[in-house]
Structure formats: structure tokens, C-alpha cells
């Protein structure tokens, strides 16, 4: 259980962070957040889709790490099986959180229960004079960029929704046992509507760089085959015989 608290000089003057950290905190996560600025790099390793937050109906941008809940096919104790690691999970044991002392203000937080946090680690947060160390400054800068990227991603998703460019997808999985599974509630780019954009809108998207994340998102869908390959390299008895994204409800519509 995480114990994430705002970093305070008085309370954490002796706190240090391990120089060697891993991604064990997402070992059982099959979805993790990704930002639009990361799409181009992430698309070479993961499928990128959107999901709806059940509480707010807002879309969230995520990468798929597995084919079912609790499955992370990229994680092992010895390595992460992809060159690129999403920013949202690379910052652990740090995170952005609300400052209880300043209304509507974000601040740097740390997970005190993380195995990488303690007074016997390598990287101090504060020096002997109580000033932020270069290490801690770099953490704060990274979290600041993370926040900026979250804001940018929200704007990007708004462009997609405002222009009716999203389509609901389902992931159909056929197993060697004959069993079939289906993941629903995923959203991607509607290629047909993308092609139907007016010339003025195309020029506008081009000038604002929106086609970079759009095409990265479209191209990333093929990485679902990598998920199948990683699953089949593992110990699971039920191998993946076939996997494919499809428009949600397409099969029912044919009947």
C-alpha cells in the first residue's frame, strides 16, 4: 500500500532515494497513462488507446501492457521489455499531488513506503543547509513537465472529440484452447472521418502538429501483435492464436 505524502524539508531533511530503482509498482497493471508528446516514441512498443473514466466520462490516454486485467507483459524482475518507459510510471517513487497547505496547488510528493526510499539510500533530497539538491531539483523539473504534458494531452483529446474523430473499439482475442475473449471500452481514431476532414481543417491540424500524435496512435494499434507475442513467450498454457482490434459492435451490425 502506497503512503504518498508531500515532501517537506522539516519532516524529510534526511530522506534519500535509491540510485537503482525498478518498475515493480506496475508489475500487475495492464494499462498505464501516456501523454500525447510521448506517442511517437511509445508507438514503437505499445498499443495506444483512450478509455473513459467511469466517474467523469472524460477520456484518458493509455498504453496497453497486457491483454487482461492484472497482466503486465513488459515487466520482469530483471528488465522492462521495451526501450521506452512511459513518463507516468518512470517517476516513481515521486508523484504530483495537491498541497494541503495551499489551495489548488500541486506539489512534489513521495511514497514513504517505497523500498527505494529511506535514510540509507544514495540520493539526498536536501543538503546540509536544507537546500534542494540537484537530484531533487531534477525530480521537480520532471514532474513539472509531466503536468504540462497532461494539460497538452487533455487539449489534444478535446480536439479529437470536438471533431468527432473517435471511434469505439473492441479487442478480440482467440486462445489456443478455443476460448475467445473480448476487451471493450477502448477508443481510437476513426480513419474514415479523419480522411473526410476539410482542407482548412487539415491545414490547421498540420500547422499545430496534431497529425504527429494522431498518426502515431493509429500506427501503434499494430503493437497488439507484440502483446500476443510476449504472452506466448511466457508460461501461460493458453497461448494467443489470434488478436485483432475491431470497431465495437461491427459483428452484431452485420447480423
Cell 472529440 -> residue: 161
pTM of the model: 0.89
Q: What is the pLDDT of residue 80?
A: 93
Q: What is the DSSP letter of 80?
A: B
Judged against a pLDDT cut of 90, whether residue 252 lies above it is answered with no
In whole angstroms, give the CA distance from residue 67 to residue 73: 8
pLDDT at 55 (0 to 100) = 81
The per-residue pLDDT for range 8-31, each reduced to its tens digit, is 999 999 999 998 888 988 999 999
Q: State the pLDDT at residue 138.
A: 95
Q: Tell me how far apart the alpha carbons of residues 10 and 130 are, in angstroms, rounded to a whole number.
A: 9
Report the C-alpha gap between 60 and 51 in whole angstroms: 5
Classify the C-alpha dihedral 40-46-50-56 as positive or negative.
negative
pLDDT tens for residues 28-53? 999 999 999 999 999 999 999 999 98
Q: What cell numbers appear for 147 in the block?
A: 503536468
What burial letters (b/e) apply to 127-160, b meaning 16+ CB within 10 Å? eeeeebeeebeebbeebeebeebbeebeebbebb
Amino acid at each position: 500500500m502506497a503512503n504518498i505524502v508531500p515532501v517537506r524539508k522539516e519532516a524529510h531533511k534526511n530522506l534519500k532515494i535509491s540510485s537503482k530503482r525498478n518498475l515493480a509498482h506496475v508489475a500487475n497493471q495492464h494499462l498505464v497513462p501516456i501523454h500525447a508528446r510521448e506517442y511517437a516514441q511509445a508507438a514503437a512498443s505499445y498499443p495506444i488507446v483512450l478509455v473513459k473514466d467511469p466517474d467523469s466520462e472524460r477520456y484518458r490516454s493509455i498504453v496497453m501492457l497486457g491483454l487482461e486485467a492484472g497482466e503486465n507483459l513488459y515487466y520482469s524482475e530483471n528488465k522492462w521489455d521495451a526501450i521506452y518507459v512511459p513518463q507516468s510510471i518512470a517517476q516513481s517513487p515521486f508523484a504530483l499531488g495537491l498541497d494541503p497547505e495551499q489551495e489548488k496547488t500541486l506539489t512534489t510528493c513521495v511514497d514513504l513506503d517505497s523500498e527505494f526510499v529511506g535514510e540509507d539510500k544514495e540520493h539526498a533530497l536536501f543538503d546540509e543547509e536544507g537546500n534542494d539538491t540537484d537530484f531533487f531539483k531534477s525530480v521537480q523539473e520532471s514532474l513539472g513537465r509531466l503536468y504540462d504534458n497532461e494539460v497538452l494531452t487533455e487539449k489534444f483529446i478535446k480536439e479529437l472529440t470536438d471533431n468527432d474523430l473517435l471511434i469505439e473499439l473492441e479487442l478480440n482475442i482467440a486462445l489456443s484452447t478455443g476460448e475467445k475473449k473480448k476487451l471493450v471500452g477502448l477508443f481510437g481514431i476513426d480513419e474514415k472521418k479523419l480522411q473526410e476532414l476539410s482542407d482548412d481543417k487539415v491545414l490547421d491540424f498540420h500547422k499545430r502538429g496534431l497529425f504527429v500524435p494522431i498518426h502515431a496512435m493509429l500506427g501503434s494499434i499494430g503493437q497488439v501483435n507484440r502483446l500476443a507475442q510476449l504472452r506466448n513467450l511466457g508460461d501461460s498454457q493458453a497461448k494467443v492464436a489470434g488478436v485483432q482490434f475491431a470497431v465495437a459492435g461491427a459483428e452484431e451490425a452485420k447480423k
